[in-house]
Amino acid sequence: MPQPCVDGRVSDDADYVEAVREHRRRKDEFLAEHPQSPIPSDRRAGFEGLPYFDPDPAYRVEAPLHEHDDPGEITVETTQNGERRYRNVGEFRFELDGGAVTLQAYRSPGDERRLWVPFRDATSGEGTYPAGRYLDLEDPADRTADGDWVLDFNGAYSPYCAYSEAYECPLVPTENWLDVAVEAGEKYEAGT
């Protein structure tokens, strides 16, 4: 499910918060009703939506991608002892909640438009999915007019394997394990 379509043209914080809430309503509807939902079919009837942190514009960060001169390939382990390959194309450096943060950005081989930015933080296992959460960024939808990328942690989501063992998900590389608490996006309750 894509992240909220909220960009630099949002006129104010109230519009932004409402756009995030609307995205969440659509996502919860998808999870409750769609045949491709990761929520097991026997739990969908009682599914009342995911828990979320309150939308907070402070967790919407605009930052340039500092591209690596020679993007190397990495192998990422998965939740079912498999492997996936990604290119480490660059890193984002920004401040979040008063602290300096660096996150690596990855691309699947052959994909030049999307960035995958997985992360673990101080909330992992303490209110959010223990293995971490993801941000998916797409060019040009998640770019500002100045070319910076928009990292909207209000759209941070748990991978499908959080809801069903039928899914195999890549684990967050250790270079994206953060010491700060990112109190934005999806929360996690086992058995959702």
Residue 162 has pLDDT above 70, yes or no: yes
At 11, the pLDDT band (50, 70, 90 cuts) reads low
Domain ranges of the chain: 13-176
- For the CA atoms of the chain, what is the radius of gyration? 16
CA 121 to chain centre: 12
Question: In whole angstroms, what is the distance from residue 55 CA to residue 44 CA?
Answer: 25
Residue 12 confidence (pLDDT): 81
Residue 4 confidence (pLDDT): 45
Residue 67 has pLDDT above 70, yes or no: yes
Other CB atoms within 10 A of residue 78 CB: 15
Residue 98 confidence (pLDDT): 86
pLDDT tens track for 97-150: 888 999 999 999 889 999 999 999 999 999 999 999 999 999 999 999 999 999
Q: Percentage of the chain surpassing pLDDT 90?
A: 86
